[in-house]
């Protein structure tokens, strides 16, 4: 798990290989350790992200940083769905202190980086 200079708990949401909404929801359930009752829909994802009681232990006090990696293929194959996902991530970040969702930089393993280094 990566370190966060601000001291927040870091969780990686790995979307490598995800190409549809069902795959995204499955990865969210797995990587964010969402409860069994997670409905695997946009509203349920927004609700779970907004509920600090569902965050990893210590996150309510320290904050939670969700790093989304491997997202480019999904964004390219399902741009409308990806736009909704981005909106949910942004709204969750804006709802209050403690949660920050960021898109991991870097290239997909399928293509060389856009920038040198």
pLDDT per position as a tens digit, 21-67 = 999 999 999 999 999 999 999 999 999 999 999 999 999 999 999 99
Coarse DSSP helix, strand, coil percentages of the chain, rounded to the nearest 5 percent: 40, 15, 45
pLDDT, position 106? 57
pLDDT, position 1? 53
**Spatial distance between the Cα atoms of 114 and 117, rounded to a whole number of angstroms:** 9
Q: Angle at the Cα of 39 (from 35 to 41), degrees rounded to 5?
A: 125
pLDDT, position 112? 42
The pLDDT-based confidence of 113 (bands split at 50, 70, 90) is very low
Calculate the CA dihedral of residues 73, 38, 9, 113 and round it to 10 degrees: 0
Q: What is the pTM of this model?
A: 0.84
């Amino acid at each position: 798990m990566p370190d966060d200079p601000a001291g927040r708990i870091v969780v990686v949401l790995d979307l490598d290989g995800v190409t549809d909404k069902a795959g995204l929801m499955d990865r969210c359930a797995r990587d964010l350790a969402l409860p069994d009752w997670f409905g695997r829909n946009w509203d349920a994802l927004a609700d779970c992200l907004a509920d600090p009681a569902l965050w990893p232990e210590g996150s309510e006090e320290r904050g939670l940083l969700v790093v989304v990696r491997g997202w480019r293929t999904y964004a390219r194959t399902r741009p409308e769905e990806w736009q909704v996902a981005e909106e949910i991530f942004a709204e969750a970040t804006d709802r209050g202190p403690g949660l920050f969702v960021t898109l991991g930089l870097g290239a997909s393993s399928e293509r060389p980086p856009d920038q040198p280094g």
